[in-house]
Structure 1
Amino acid sequence: MSSTFFGLEIGRKALQVQQAALNVTGHNIANANTEGFTRQRAVMSATKPFAMPSFTKPAGAGQIGTGVEVQEIRRVRDDFIDLQLRKENNVFSEWEEKLDSLQKLEVVFNEPSESSLRTVLDRFWEAWQDLSLNPELEAVRMTVRESGVALAETFNHLDRQLGELTDDIDDSINIAVDEINNIATQIATLNDQIVSVEVQDDNANDLRDKRDLLVDELSKSIQVSVREDEYGSLKVSIGGRALVTGTEVFEISAVADPGNNGYVELQWADGSAVRVESGELKGMLDTRDTIVPSYQDQLDELARTVVVEMNSVHAAGYGLDDDVGGINFFDPIDPLDPTYPDNITAANIAVDDAIMNDLDNIAAASIPGDPLNPGLNAGDGSNAINIVELKHMELIGTATVDDYYNAMIAELGVQAREAERMTENQELLVTQLENRREQVSGVSLDEEMTNMIKFQHAYNAAARVVTAMDELLDTVVNRLGLVGR
């Protein structure tokens, strides 16, 4: 049979359990605004009942409950929502990175504006148009030269900015790799701490929250797969290879690739390439290795066409009172180079020194002059007209120079709008999943206040049980047997 103090023991357990539940509630309220925190609840269960023994029925139906205990303090978390959120957040980060880079590209080309390449090209053709009407005027010739210088410098500037953008992205890749390795080290440390706690049948809830938050951050940078073993340790993999296994970290490295202008590529310790399928890193790599180079190539093609075609027509004409001809307007770099004209790029286009040193060398005329008879071809602007006609000729495939550049800018606009649309769609999806996770795992202050009142009343009731048992024992110990004395 149960002891005389059996009721006090039940009350004691009730007081401890309701106090523990209040402590859990207070912990939830304290971390209501803590990033990555998962609300917890005390899971209560009845303790093993006490059987009423008898001679014929030592363990009969007359069982008496022995009270309550906290079976576990459980995190309220849905692993499937975590899996979905990490997957969609991974895609969102990739498109967000691409959108950011494409918007920077739009700033580089700065269309439309007074300083854009399109405006400079228009002014270049207009200067030649004016020269065809007034080939003898030095002021007009100076305008042609300066418009050529402006065009060359604009090409140079655009190429330099595209190169700087690529360098910045490469630096960001290095930073992202360091961050991945740092997060991996923290996850390994938390694995060790969590296993140490849970091997004693405790739940390392707060440590698990920190680890899950790190995995969420990692999933933004690169695709990850996560698997938890029976001890609570997490294995994190990238592209089928382990990044973290227990307390062991397999770091990735950013190694300069000479075959890619010295830009880094991602490698494991054994030199094999890291498979980057999605995430922020994928967006960076695609932008650095594909998107920006495609616009650099188009810009080089545009500059090359302008130089080659301009020089071809200009060299066929004659300067003021010049009977020699054959002078280039733009520096042809090195026509004897076997890679000519491919060696002409937006980075090295420049006005020829002969033009820079003497305005008379601008070949506006189609007929040769006579140094001994000044003014013979002073009014001839027919070659300038031939140069102006280049604007309307299909020089790059079936496109004019202007059409080619306009198509390039249009392509950039389409890519930027597509990236913006995908980013907005993914952001909406991520927000919905975050709201779902918040509904499951987030702290509701109204709910916690309700629980606090519920546990407070239960604690007070348990205290009353203890008081009642104390009064009962006082009667038995101090008053029982006094009658008749």
Structure 2
Amino acid sequence: MGNSFAGIEIGKRSIQAHTVQIQTAGHNISNADTEGYSRQRVIVKSFEPIYRPDLEREMRPGQLGQGTDVESVTRIRDELLESRIVAQENEETYWETRNNYYSMIEQVYNEPDEISVRYNMDKFWEGWQELSNYPESDAARQAVVTRGESLTNSIRQQFNSLKSIRNQINGDIEATVKQVNDYSRQISALNAEIVKSKAVGDNPNDLMDRRDLLVEKLSGLINVTVTQRDPDEFMVHTDGQIIVQGAVNRQIGFAPQDNDSGYSKLVWTDTNADAYFRGGSLGALVELRDKDLRAQLQSLDTMTLNFADLVNDVHRNSVGKNNVTGLDFFVQHDFVENVNGNYDSDGDGVEDSSRIFRITGNNALKAQEQTGLAGTMTFNAGAETVSVPYYPTDTVEDVINRINDSASEVKAYLDRNNSLVLKASAASDASNPDFVIRHVEDSGLFLAGYAGILSQSGEAGAFDWNRADAVNSLAGAQFAVSPLRNPSAYVEVNPSIVSDVSSVASAYANGQGFADASDGRAAVELAAIRNTKVMIGKQRTFDDYFADTVTEVGLKGEQAQNQLASQNKIMDDLRSLRDSISGVNIDEELADIIKFQHGYNAAAKFISVQDALLDTLINRLGV
């Protein structure tokens, strides 16, 4: 005979199962707006039946069901979809960060006309043009000085604005690194708690939701992938590096960069190896600071340095109204005081390198004249060197263009005396200083004899910056010491000229060494610099510089905006799909509560019936 109390047990289990289901539905409703929460469902199964020999039939064993039981409470979650979201999150935040900062950079170049560098430079050239027409006028000279001051003020203002954005990015990098470290610590701590919970047979849904949310937030800061080959070891990777492994996490720190930028690089604190991130907001911030903003400042410095150098070259060889000559119009600050550019690079007290910006050959050349020479010139280029060949049928202009079109960081042009000038450009490798000629070599005679720059051809006559007095390898060529870093930060009109505008030179010395009152030839030459192909770098004129710079910033801003819109659409679709699977639907949960309530009531009624049956059996049987 079966157990008389089996029905009570069945009803009790049913009540317990429906109670868990109602509580789980209530838990879902209460967390409907909780970030990262996945709705939970109760998995129920029939309780193990009892075997009854007296119910045996042919072809069918006899069993009695024992009601229901709660097997588990699980999260409703699509793991493949979650991995796609984690993989895409860093792309969205990467372009969002770039879009935000390029909006700020664009504002720097979209200044009102009266304070923009382009507007003030146009006015500066117009001032020289006016002085060329009225070389005896002090008012015209005052206009040149005042417009020169306005120009230098706008250049410094643009530098400070770009530098301020770069400093702001650096602050964001420091804050973001703290967030990455904090998230990795929290994920590893949750891993430990989850393993402990699973070890005793529990299903820690809320802890796993919290961990998944932290991983998603981390993926917005850096590009990460998640693996769990071992059920007890949840791992987070970034660019081939492990950042979280079970209960262990790695931290990101800072170390000085191998340059004089004043900023720190990212390193792993446990190995001190460099830490690189391709995506996420941290990857975008580092790229903006060390590439985009560095390139913008280098471009401004290049324009400023060469602009001031070209103006000074004409002005110092001209004569002012007061017959003063030899004055630079703009102040330039040399990197070192040593006249040969000698510098102590390792700080041991011994000069071991040379910092030279410009080398001017001794010989006057003709641009369209064929050289009749063959050989290969070698110049510094990034961390390596680049070779530039020349042939007998090449004209001087062909050779110059080949140098400028190469990847070398040495550029060339013919100056006002038709002498070949070699100038250093900004360095592509951040570990190298800007505006320093590091290597010049010629296997033939173009630089050695024809242009009058090197004293001899071959390796023995090469100019190399890794030694003091490297200028001794020059064939008596003129040279200029490299400028102090960021010339656009300190450029200004010579105070001697500001205090006496009659020192503004508009003429060339006559036979007696004085200036004729009606001579405006120097002013004409200065005004002509505006449209002369004299810029150093990819841009050939100053107008090219302004056009290319604004275009580049605008296109990169447009790219960031378009890519962000595309990534937003992708992520909106993925998140909407996740919400449809894992999100809490209040109406659905309320409907489930009503269903579970009816089940609970039915189970209670079943227990009442069983109670009445037992009462009849115990108290009334035989009466």
Q: TM-score, normalised by structure 1?
A: 0.91
Once the 2 structures are TM-superposed, how far is the Cα of residue 310 of structure 1 from its aligned partner?
1.2
Change (3 A) 1:56 1:108: closer
Residue 359 in 1 paired to residue 359 in 2?
A: no
Q: For 1:30-429, what aligned pairs fall within 5 Å after superposition?
A: 30-54=30-54, 61-111=61-111, 113-228=113-228, 230-259=230-259, 261-268=261-268, 269-320=270-321, 322-334=322-334, 336=339, 337=341, 338-341=355-358, 342=435, 343-344=482-483, 345-366=487-508, 377-396=516-535, 399-429=540-570
Query: For structure 2, which runs of at least 5 residues remain unmatched after alignment?
Result: 342-354, 359-434, 436-481
| C-alpha contact 1:199 1:231 (8 A) present in aligned 2 | no
Pick the structure with more strand per residue: 2
Q: Deviations over 1:20-56 (max 9, x none)?
A: 1000000000000000001000011111112332297
What is the aligned length? 478
CA deviation profile, 1:344-399 (whole Å, cap 9, x unmatched)? 42223221122112010111334659999xxx844544432332222121222663
- Per-residue CA deviation, residues 328-359 of structure 1 (Å, 9 max, x unaligned), is 21124349545235434222322112211201
Aligned-pair distance for 1:130? 3.1
Q: What do residues 185-216 of structure 1 show as CA deviations (whole Å, max 9, x unaligned)?
A: 11121112111211111110001111111111
Is 1:476 the counterpart of 2:477? The answer is no
CA distance in 2, matches of 1:465, 1:370: 126
Question: Which shows bigger deviation, 328-337 or 217-226?
Answer: 328-337
Cα distance in structure 1, aligned partners of 2:285 and 2:22: 48
- Alpha-carbon distance change, 5 to 126 in structure 1, aligned in 2, over 3 angstroms: same
When you count helix as a share of all residues, which structure comes out higher? Answer: 1
Partner of 1:328, secondary structure, is coil
Q: Higher relative CO (CA 8 A, sep ≥ 6), structure 1 or 2?
A: 1
Percent identity at matched positions?
A: 32
Asked if the contact 1:324/1:368 (under 8 Å) is kept, the reply is: no
The residue that corresponds to 2:464 in the other structure is none
CA distance in 2, matches of 1:56, 1:169: 80
TM-score (norm 2): 0.72
What CA distance in whole angstroms lies between the structure 1 residues aligned with 2:323 and 2:182? 71
| Residues 255 and 264, structure 2, Cα contact 8 Å, conserved in 1 | yes
Amino acid in structure 1 at the alignment position of 2:504: I
Deviates more, 1:450-459 or 1:69-78: 450-459
Task: Give the distance between the partners of 1:126 and 1:450, measured in 2 at CA.
Answer: 80
2: distance between equivalents of 1:55 and 1:68?
Answer: 21
Structure-2 change in CA distance of 1:260 and 1:239 (3 Å): farther
Identify which range, 92-101 or 431-440, moves more after superposition.
92-101
**Equivalence for 2:427:** none
Q: Which moved more, 1:224-233 or 1:39-48?
A: 224-233
Contact 1:131 1:140 in 2 (8 A): yes
Distance 1:425 1:356, change over 3 A: same
Cα distance in 1, alignment partners of residues 241 and 69 from structure 2: 43
Give how far 1:12 is off: 0.9
Instruction: Work out whether 1:463 is the aligned partner of 2:604.
Output: yes
**How far is 1:324 from its partner?**
4.2
**1:112 Cα deviation (Å)?**
5.6
Deviating above 6 A after TM superposition, structure 1's stretches of 4 or more consecutive aligned residues are 55-59, 369-372
Contact 2:127 2:144 in 1 (8 A): yes
The answer to whether the Cα contact below 8 Å between 1:239 and 1:274 also exists between their aligned partners in 2 is no
2:99 is paired with a residue whose SS is helix
Q: Structure 1 regions of 5+ residues with no counterpart?
A: none
Letter in 2 for 1:347: A
Q: Secondary structure at the match of 2:215?
A: helix
Aligned-pair CA distance for 1:108: 2.5
CA separation of 1:219 and 1:154: change in aligned 2, threshold 3 A: same
